[in-house]
Structure 1
Amino acid sequence: GRESRACIFISVNGRPIRPDRHLSAILSEAYQTLLPHDRYPIIALHIEAPAWAVDVAGQPGKTRVRFRDPALVGRQVGIALHAALLDAAGPRWQRRGPSTPATGAAARRDAWSFERPESEQATPAPADDEPQARAAGAGALNLTLLRPIGQLHQRYIMAESYTGLVLIDQQAADARIRYEQIRAQLLAGGVPGVALGMARDVVVPPAAHALLLAHAEPLSHWGFSFEDCGQSLRVLATPRLRLDRLGATLLDVADHLSQRALRAPEEIQEALVTTLAAASAIGEEPLRPEQMRALLDQLARCKQPWTCPRGRPVVRVERIQRIEALFDHL
C-alpha cells in the first residue's frame, strides 16, 4: 500500500477523474482487510457508463463527474472490486443454484443473523492443492514448504525457505486464520459457542449493558450466551476467544451494535468478525515446533493469507542474497 492516494487512477468513459467521497469510501471498504487503515491501494479503475448515466454538463477538462445514480455506480464498482480481489486471492465460496436476493427488512435481518435460505447455502469451491503467494514481497512462496526454525521474541515465527528467511507474525497469522474460520462458520449456520466451566460476571457501562441484552438473541448466532444480573452480565458461553479479552470484546461488540443505525449490516458483520478474530488470536507466547508447523499449515489453507483482517502484513521475506551481503559473501 501507499501513504497517499497518488496511485489511484480512475477514468469514466475514457476521461480521467478524481474520486469523490462516495467512490473513495467504496475503494476503502473493498480493501479494508487487505491494507492498514493509513495505507491506500494501487488501483487503475476504468468505468464505462451510458451517456444518460453521466452528467453531460461537466466540461471535458474537468476531473469531476456526476453520476445520475451514484449509489448504483458505487454498488457496481464494489461488486467488481470484490470479484477481482477474490479472484486474486484464490478459491472462494460459491452458492448452489439460483437464488432471489432478499430486499428491505428481510435483507437486513438475514445479513445481521447470517441465516440463509436453503437455496442460498454456500459450499466451498475446490481449493488449490498448493496455495501460492499472491502478495507483493512474497514472490512464489509456498507456505506449506516452509521449515520452522524458531521464534523471535515469542512473537514471530522464523522459517527457512529456498529464497531465504521468512518471518511470520504469529498473532496476525492466527487472526487471519480465525477470521476465515468465523466467516465459514457463519455461512454454515452460526459460530459455535463454548460453554464456560464457570460463568463469568462482566461489568460494562449501562449503555453497553442494555445494548447487549437487547441483542442477546442475534448474538447467540455468534456464540454468545449471557443473562442479566443487575449491575453485571453473567456470561455463560462465548465463541472461541481468550477469556482475558472477554470484557474488552463485549465492549467492542456493544460499540459495533450502537452504530447499526449509521452503518450497513454488512459493515457491522465485518466489524464483528474482525473483533472476534482478534479476540481469539494467540498473543506473544512460546510455541512448540509442532504448533508452529500447524499454524503455517492452517495459514496456507486461507484464501488470503498475506494480511491480517485489519490489513497488517503477516509474512515478510528476507532474501538470502541480502543476508549474504550483510556478511560480505557476495
Structure 2
Amino acid sequence: MSIRRLPEHLVNRIAAGEVVERPASALKELVENAIDAGASRIVVSLGQGGIGRIEVIDDGCGMDPDEMALALERHATSKLPDDEIDAVTTLGFRGEALPSIASVARLSIESRVRGADGWSRTIDNGRVVAEGPAALPPGTRILVEDLFARVPARRKFLRSDRSEYAACVDVVKRLAMARPDVGFTLDHDGRRNFSVPPGEDRPSRVAALTDRALAENSVGIDYERGRARLGGVAGLPTFNRGIADHQYLFVNGRPVKDRLLIGALRGAYQDMLARDRHPVVALFVELPGEEVDVNVHPAKTEVRFRDPSLIRGLIIGGLRHALDEAGHRSVQRPQDVAWQQEPMTPPAPSMPLWDQFRPDAASAASWNNGSGAQTLTRPAFQSQGQAMWEARGSYAPAPMARAETATAQPPEAVRFPLGVARGQVAATYIVAEAEDGLVLVDQHAAHERLVLERMRRAVADGGVARQALLLPEVVELDENGCDRLEARIGELAEMGLELERFGPRAMLVRATPAMLGNGDVVGLVTDLADELAAFDEALSLKERIDHVAATMACHGSVRAGRVLSVAEMNALLREMEVTPHSGQCNHGRPTWVKLAHGDIEKLFGRK
C-alpha cells in the first residue's frame, strides 16, 4: 500500500478526536480563547447539555475579518509571539481548537474590534457557508451547534445530556476559579446556573462556586518553597466529601488534573481523614514557566514538572502548615439539638439541710443506728453543728445521678463466638471476652454493616419503613447534584428516603429510613449526590442501590465516641454473629479482631 497525504477535512477530523472529545472539551477551548483575548466578562449559554448548542460571548479584543479567516486555519495562533513555547503564558497556544470544532459541527463566529465594524463567518462541518458584516458590541460571539451530528461514530459515544452538562459546568467553574478578576455567567436551556462578578478575591470566588459553607470551614494558604509558591483555600479535615470532585488544582493559572498533585494532596491529609473521605480544596501553584512543561497533552490538562519533589514538598508542607495553624478548629454545623439543663441541687427538705445544723437549731437531732433511737444533748449537738456550719462553704452539693434498671448478670462467654461485652475503650471499641480469647470490636464499622444488611433485606422484602419528618428539611446542593437525585427519586423512596425537588439548587427531605433514626439529613443527602455522581452511569441498578444503601447505613450507624451500655454492646455482638459479611464494614475494613489466649500469653512471656 502506497503512502498518501490525507485530505484537509480528514486531518481536521483526526485533530478533533484529540482536542474535541465531548462538548465540555469544545467549551473549554472557547472559554480559554475568551480569557486570552482579555475579556472581563464571559457569558456561556448551553443547550441539551452542550450537545445541541454552545454559545460563548466575551468583551475581549475581538478579531478583524482577516484574523478571523486565519484563526480558522490549523496551527494559526496569536498566542506565541516568538518560538519560546517553554515560556508560554496563555491558556491556549496550539491553534487547533477552532478548525477542529468547525470540522465536526456548525460553527458561527461574530467578532468586532473596538473602533471598527463587526464581521461574521459560518462554517458547517469544514465548509464555509456564509460570511458578511455583523452588528455586535466589541468582543466575540461564537456559536457551536449540533456537535458530531455528521460523525455518528463519535456521537453515539457521548453520554446523556445531564452528564455532558455536568462536565461543562465543571469546566467553566474551574476556569472561573482560576480567574477571579473575570466575571462568568452560565445558563443552560434558558435557566441560570451561576453568575459571579469580576474583581472577587480568590476565597470568595472558590466558596461561591463550590459550597458557601467553605468560607467558614477552611483555611487560607500562602506558602513558598524555593522559586515555587502555593496559594488557595483548603477545607478543614472535618469538612469533607464522599468523592474527590471538589478538588481543584491549578498550575500558573491553568486548571490541571495531575497525578503528582493529587498524590501530594492525599499525603497531606492522610492521617486526618478516613480513606473513603476527601477534602475540599482549591490549590494554586505558581512557578517560573521554564520549571513546568504544559505541552504534554493536546487538551493541556496535564503538566510535567522539572523538579517533582519540590512541588510535592510544597503542597504537603503548605497544607500541613495551614492546617496546623487552624489548631483545634472543626467544621461549624448548625445545631438542631435543644439542650436542657437539669437542676444540680436536690429539692429542699421541709427544713433546709444546713439549717438543721445551725447552732440555734430549735431542737436536738435524733437518728437510728439500727439498735434504737439515740438522742444528742443540745450542747453536744450545737458543738458539732457549729463546726459543720462554719465549714459549709467547702462542701459542694451531692452529685446527681440517674438510677438504671437492674439487669441480669452477663451470660457465659462459652455460649457465643464473639463472647460477651466486658467494657468499652475510648468510647469506640467494645472489649468482649470469648471462650478462646479477647475480642475487640469497632462499634461504628460493625453497626454500619448491620444497618446495611437490614436495609438490603428490607428492600428485598418490598421496601424500607420510613419515618416522616415533622418539619421537612431543605438541603442545598448544586444543580447537577439535584438533577441526579431527582432522577433517582423512585429508587430512593424504596429505601425509605422521600425527596422532592425544591427549586433549581435544593432538595426537600420529607422522610428518612426509620432504621437510621435521627441522623444527619444534610450530610446523608449530600453524600448520596456524590455517590450518584461517581457511579450513576457505570453501574447496574442493583449496584447503584447497594452504593446508596451503604451510604445511608454509614450515616445511620453508631458513631465512634458514643458510650454504650453493656446491654447495647451485647446486643450488637449477638446481631453480628447472625449477620452475613459482618466481619468487614461497607468500606472493606475489619469490624473485629481477636487475640487468642495463646497470643496474650506470648505478649506477657508466658510462652
Name the TM tier (shorter chain): 0.5 to 0.7
Counterpart of 1:234 in structure 2: which amino acid?
L
Counterpart of 2:473 in structure 1: which amino acid?
R
Distance 2:583 2:569 in 1: 17
Equivalence for 1:51:
none
Unaligned stretches of 5+ in structure 2? 1-274, 277-413
Q: For each residue in 1:180-238, what CA deviation from the matched residue of structure 2 results, as whole angstroms up to 9, or x when unmatched?
A: 11110011011221112332121112211222223323321111113333343221101
1:208 paired to 2:481 = yes
Counterpart of 2:591 in structure 1: which amino acid?
V
- The 3 A distance-change label for structure 1 pair 144 and 199 is farther
Q: For each residue in 1:236-289, what CA deviation from the matched residue of structure 2 results, as whole angstroms up to 9, or x when unmatched?
A: 101133655322321232233344322222321221121122111111110000
Please tell me whether Structure 1 or Structure 2 has the larger radius of gyration of its CA atoms.
2
Equivalence for 2:597:
320
Larger mean Cα displacement after TM superposition, 236-245 or 220-229: 236-245
The answer as to whether partners of 1:144 and 1:296 remain within 8 angstroms in 2 is no
Counterpart of 1:233 in structure 2: which amino acid?
M
Equivalence for 1:238:
512
Q: For each residue in 1:99-120, what CA deviation from the matched residue of structure 2 results, as whole angstroms up to 9, or x when unmatched?
A: xxxxxxxxxxxxxxxxxxxxxx
Q: 547, 553, 556: which one pairs with 1:280? A: 556
Distance 1:255 1:150 in 2: 37
Alignment of 1:54-203 (within 5 A): 143=416, 146-203=419-476
Matched residue of 1:300: which SS? helix
Q: 521, 529, 535: which one pairs with 1:254? A: 529
Equivalence for 1:110:
none
Counterpart of 1:232 in structure 2: which amino acid?
A
Unaligned stretches of 5+ in structure 1? 1-36, 39-140
Distance 1:210 1:243 in 2: 26
Equivalence for 2:230:
none
Q: For each residue in 1:18-63, what CA deviation from the matched residue of structure 2 results, as whole angstroms up to 9, or x when unmatched?
A: xxxxxxxxxxxxxxxxxxx99xxxxxxxxxxxxxxxxxxxxxxxxx
Distance 1:226 1:268 in 2: 17
- The 3 A distance-change label for structure 1 pair 233 and 323 is same
Q: For each residue in 1:64-104, what CA deviation from the matched residue of structure 2 results, as whole angstroms up to 9, or x when unmatched?
A: xxxxxxxxxxxxxxxxxxxxxxxxxxxxxxxxxxxxxxxxx
Counterpart of 1:288 in structure 2: which amino acid?
S
Aligned residues: 193
Counterpart of 1:216 in structure 2: which amino acid?
I
Percent identity, aligned pairs only, is 29
Alignment of 1:293-312 (within 5 A): 293-312=570-589
Distance 1:287 1:247 in 2: 25
- Aligned-residue Cα RMSD (Å) equals 2.5
User: When you count strand as a share of all residues, which structure comes out higher?
Assistant: 2
Larger RCO of the pair (alpha carbons < 8 Å, separation 6+): 1
Matched residue of 2:516: which SS? coil
Q: TM-score of the superposition, structure 1-length normalised?
A: 0.53
Matched residue of 1:182: which SS? helix
Q: TM-score of the superposition, structure 2-length normalised?
A: 0.30
What is the CA-CA distance between 1:142 and the residue it aligns to?
Answer: 7.1
Distance 1:266 1:228 in 2: 24
Distance 2:418 2:439 in 1: 11
